[in-house]
Chains A and B, each alone.
Chain A
Amino acid sequence: AQSVTQPDIHITVSEGASLELRCNYSYGATPYLFWYVQSPGQGLQLLLKYFSGDTLVQGIKGFEAEFKRSQSSFNLRKPSVHWSDAAEYFCAVGARTGRRALTFGSGTRLQVQP
């Protein structure tokens, strides 16, 4: 069965510092890959996605992620964090065929210090 691991439950960074959130997946084949952000009391907003092609994908709000097949990873990065980036971040995978449901990791809570 597919699974998604986000090893960091909670990360604190200073405003202006760089950020990397880790995501590893276990899957039979390369899935579709997503990063979502959830602010308190809000639904999930799609930050970026990887379907195929260039393994470095750009998203909204200055985020990017790199797909590394050999490591089964899809880490999220941002060069300079803003206080408004404080939120919960979820990595998710979806099958390329068949089942349409997304499988999510358990999330990483990002705290930004002034």
Chain B
Amino acid sequence: GAGVSQSPRYKVAKRGQDVALRCDPISGHVSLFWYQQALGQGPEFLTYFQNEAQLDKSGLPSDRFFAERPEGSVSTLKIQRTQQEDSAVYLCASSLSSGNYEQYFGPGTRLTVT
């Protein structure tokens, strides 16, 4: 079946612009995660949804970052007033249920802020 998909794959934004990154999880997966991966680093947790509820947003680096999953399926990560330090790959992952710890990752969106 289809895996996790993300769009766009690449995004270039001028500093100060708003961006929206989309994640389509595996169909039927309850849990959805966003991670940020800086160049040469491992992914770092941003936020977690169980269905439409955002249960953990402790990793969001500032109030410029906002995520939603209004119908418990597709999720959007929005970054307002982008800064150069926001340049990274944004990875989305989903897992079957809240009790299932296997996370399946999408290909990521590479964001470059100029």
Name A90's closest neighbour in chain B (CB-CB): B42
- Interface residues of A, CB < 8 Å — how many? 23
Total cross-chain contacts (CB, 8 A): 55
Residues of B within 8 A of A105 (CB): 42
Asked if A107 and B101 make an inter-chain contact with CB atoms under 8 angstroms apart, the answer reads no
Name A42's closest neighbour in chain B (CB-CB): B107
Residues of B within 8 A of A102 (CB): 33, 35, 43, 45, 103
Secondary structure dominating the interface of A = strand
Q: Which 4 A-B pairs have the closest CB atoms?
A: A104-B42, A101-B45, A43-B105, A44-B105
Task: Given A101-B45, A101-B56, A104-B44, answer yes or no on A43-B107 (Cβ-Cβ < 8 Å).
Answer: yes
The interface of chain B, by Cβ under 8 A from chain A, is: 4, 31, 33, 35, 40-45, 48, 55-56, 59, 91, 93, 98, 101-108
A58 to B48, CA, bound (A): 29
Residues of A within 8 A of B43 (CB): 44, 90, 102, 104
Per-position binary interface string of chain A over residues 51-94, scored 1 when its CB falls under 8 Å from any chain B CB and 0 otherwise: 10000000000000000000000000000000000000010101
A104 to B59, CA, bound (A): 13
Asked if A46 and B102 make an inter-chain contact with CB atoms under 8 angstroms apart, the answer reads yes
Residues of A within 8 A of B41 (CB): 106-107
A110 to B95, CA, bound (A): 27
Name B5's closest neighbour in chain A (CB-CB): A43
A4 to B59, CA, bound (A): 17
Whether A45 is near chain B, meaning CB under 8 Å from some CB there, is yes
Per-position binary interface string of chain A over residues 98-114, scored 1 when its CB falls under 8 Å from any chain B CB and 0 otherwise: 01111111110000000
